[in-house]
A and B are shown apart, each in its own frame.
Chain A
Amino acid sequence: MLTYVARRIIQAIPVVFLIAVVSFFLMQQAPGGPQLAFNQNHHITTAQIDSWLKSWCLERDPGVVGTIREFAGWLGVWNCTGGGLLSAHGLPNFLPAALGGGTNGLLHGDFGFSIASGQPVLSEILNRVPATLILMGVSWVIWVTMAILIGVLAAVKRYSVWDQATTFFSYIFYSLPTFWLGLILIFIFGVALRWFPVQGIVDTRAAPAPFATDAYWAALAKDPIPNLFDIGRHLVLPVITLVAVSIAADSRFVRSAMLDSLSQDYVRTARAKGAVERSVIFRHAFRNALLPILTNVALELAFLFSGAIVTETVFTWPGMGRLYFDAVNARDYFLVMGILFIGSILVVIMNLVADVLYAWADPRIRY
């Protein structure tokens, strides 16, 4: 098992590298280029810009070789403070700092600075992680349980009213633009009925402190019920928006996986040995349908991440998606690159988890 996981990780390395290349060159080719974005901030002097550019291996007019050098610097292979491929300790720069390597670039966990806030990209992102985790976690649980419940029931009661109704509604919901569904929910439940708040993760006037600050966590620990309730209220509409389309798509997936499984010979064998229907459905059919579902469930986390950007922009949710939107809007290049890279790594990890889960659950796969 360990060697299997190791092999899959090694296979993922070129993909991760390509992701870094794509993220970087996307930003490089963007009109204006990263360096020019500094110019928009008039609190910063030319000297400061030059020193920043230098520390980031950025050049004002890089050319092809210069661009590759910039990329190497962002990746952490190139030492921007003059060492070239070697670190200050005279060892290859890509080595971990503890082994005498450099400290700059992705390889050393350094994503650069946000141009807009001056904060390190990593701390900007980490600040937004809790809100996104809450949104994604709750959505994921609801999504998966609902999809499995609806799908299994539709498959077991094939052609019933329930099956036809879920088929119909899943078609409708599957075709809805997510952001538009969000707008409609905002109007119905936020404006017309006033049941749920329509933006943010906490009520800014009632909250003891701004969300995700140390003061807020302290207040949450001291007085959890009203604060969690507040978050819960804010979660309702974004979560519905985020999961509606996906439940529609996935309940179809679960249904067809389940139908496929139910039509297999071994299900007939189970019936032939006199197993009760519940056992036929769950022990035999669902256990097998679980294999494709399991893969899908892990991959879904990656899709959720994409979906989060839609929901978070519509509902001004203070998560990574909203941060990304703001960063694109402000041409905050390092931040955009950082989120793009981390998001992609997340997807790669999810793919990996899906593969490993599959291998673990299916006795036929040898690893």
Chain B
Amino acid sequence: MTVQEATVPEGQFEEVHSPGVPPPPDVLLEVRNLRTHFHVMDGTVPAVDGVSFSVRRGETLGVVGESGCGKSVTALTIMRLLEIPPAEIVAGEIWFDGREILSLPEDQMRRLRGSAMSMIFQEPMTSLNPVLTVGEQIAEAVIIHRKASHKEAEARALEMLKAVGIPAPERRLRQYPHELSGGMRQRVMIALALSCDPKLLVADEPTTALDVTIQAQILDLIARLQRDTGASLLLITHDLGVVAEVVQRVVVMYAGKVVEQGSVKEILESPKHPYTKGLLASIPSRGKRGDRLNVIKGTVPNPFRMPVGCRFNPRCPYAFEPCAGHEPPLDQTGPDRAVACWLYTKPPVGAEHQASQRAKADADGSAA
């Protein structure tokens, strides 16, 4: 960690601004050098360890990575929904709509949640309160943020249920969550999240728990509503297929760090970081039926014993000398494009194999 702090000069990456300086007005959300750690019985887990990215107004950003890479924790940190302790936000800033929200008093933050920023969770089966009706749960947000009467709030809930395409909304309004299917519940969650016209919608694996046949419908619904309302969308997923369909820009996370970011086209067509390549290669493609499915070797590192140097180096097919000793900085390689890998950054020592490694990587990349 200390290595990384030493090797990344402030402001090296374009979108990270100096501490305390608000981002430009077209940026709705900017996360700067965020570190969220968990203090558990066995030690400290650096779940998010120096993550920076930004979401512009009306933009759709995908955060991609394996489970355990810290993407959900990042989302919960933005919403400030983590329980503190065991979680601790060690460092960083989060600018939302011109305000730094990590330092906001809880009461002001609460006013933002559900109105200016709202969230859709992964588990529609458990994310709705089983003893309250669907209508009550949607109306609650409207009552809280718009000071609406119960009648008005119920009317808004009905309107939202119609907007998310739930059949017979009048009847569904009075039903309990257990009477609805998983897809229906996720629609309710979306209705709930959008009921107060948020500027930012955070969707944490919104389709993972659903049937494959339903996934596309829900994804389309989210994308359509995002377009219609002009909200920004932060879509968190482990599924690059989902990313390809919906988002404009992608942030790839590995073991609590951003390893690569760029436009969805760049990431999908010319991935740079070996991990991103691995992720792309592990998507089963229809064209190559019968081929061996490519998987990234190894497992996500034990958070208590993070590999020294680049965290991906034990699994990386291109690892060479500097990787095990030094953590690569997230270096900009083009407009809106950055990668944290010694293959693309001049390593501090032992760079002699770089050229040959890079040639190998490029050859593999073009093959993929």
Contact: B127 with A273, CB < 8 Å?
no
**Scoring A residues 111 to 148 as 1 if CB is less than 8 Å from chain B, else 0, what string do you get?**
00000000000000000000000000000000000000
With a CB–CB cut-off of 8 A, which chain B residues contact A269?
121, 127-129, 137, 189, 192
Nearest to A264 among chain B residues (CB) is B126
Contact: A266 with B178, CB < 8 Å?
no
Q: Which residues of A contact B (CB under 8 A)?
A: 264-266, 268-276, 279, 283-284, 287-288, 291, 361-364
Q: Which residues of B contact A (CB under 8 A)?
A: 79, 81, 110-115, 118-119, 121, 123, 126-132, 137, 140-141, 144-145, 176, 178, 189, 192-193
Contact: A272 with B110, CB < 8 Å?
no
Contact: B192 with A273, CB < 8 Å?
yes
Contact: B176 with A364, CB < 8 Å?
yes
Known: A276-B110, A287-B131. 9 other contacts (CB 8 A): A264-B126, A266-B126, A266-B130, A269-B137, A269-B189, A269-B192, A272-B79, A283-B132, A362-B130
Contact: A268 with B118, CB < 8 Å?
no
Contact: A273 with B113, CB < 8 Å?
yes
Nearest to A158 among chain B residues (CB) is B83
Picked from B81, B178, B193, the residue with its CB within 8 Å of the CB of A268 is: B81
- Whether A275 touches B178, Cβ cut-off 8 Å, given contacts A270-B129, A284-B129, is no
A269 to B76, CA, bound (A): 11
With a CB–CB cut-off of 8 A, which chain A residues contact B144?
273-276
Supply 13 A–B pairs (Cβ within 8 Å), ascending by A.
A265-B127, A266-B126, A266-B128, A271-B113, A273-B114, A273-B144, A273-B192, A274-B145, A275-B144, A276-B110, A284-B129, A287-B129, A363-B131
User: B131, B176, B193 — which one has the most chain A CB atoms within 10 A of its CB?
Assistant: B131
* Nearest CB in chain A: distance from B244 CB, A: 27
With a CB–CB cut-off of 8 A, which chain A residues contact B192?
269, 273
With a CB–CB cut-off of 8 A, which chain B residues contact A270?
129, 140
Nearest to B76 among chain A residues (CB) is A268
Picked from B130, B131, B140, the residue with its CB within 8 Å of the CB of A275 is: B140
With a CB–CB cut-off of 8 A, which chain B residues contact A264?
126
Contact: B130 with A363, CB < 8 Å?
yes
* Nearest CB in chain B: distance from A266 CB, A: 4
Picked from B113, B126, B128, B130, the residue with its CB within 8 Å of the CB of A274 is: B113
With a CB–CB cut-off of 8 A, which chain B residues contact A283?
132
A266 to B185, CA, bound (A): 12
With a CB–CB cut-off of 8 A, which chain B residues contact A274?
110-115, 141, 144-145
**9 residue pairs, one from A and one from B, having the closest CB atoms:** A274-B114, A273-B114, A273-B141, A265-B126, A266-B129, A274-B113, A363-B176, A265-B127, A272-B119
Picked from A268, A279, A362, the residue with its CB within 8 Å of the CB of B131 is: A362
Contact: B123 with A265, CB < 8 Å?
yes
With a CB–CB cut-off of 8 A, which chain A residues contact B141?
273-274
A271 to B115, CA, bound (A): 12
A265 to B177, CA, bound (A): 13
With a CB–CB cut-off of 8 A, which chain A residues contact B193?
272
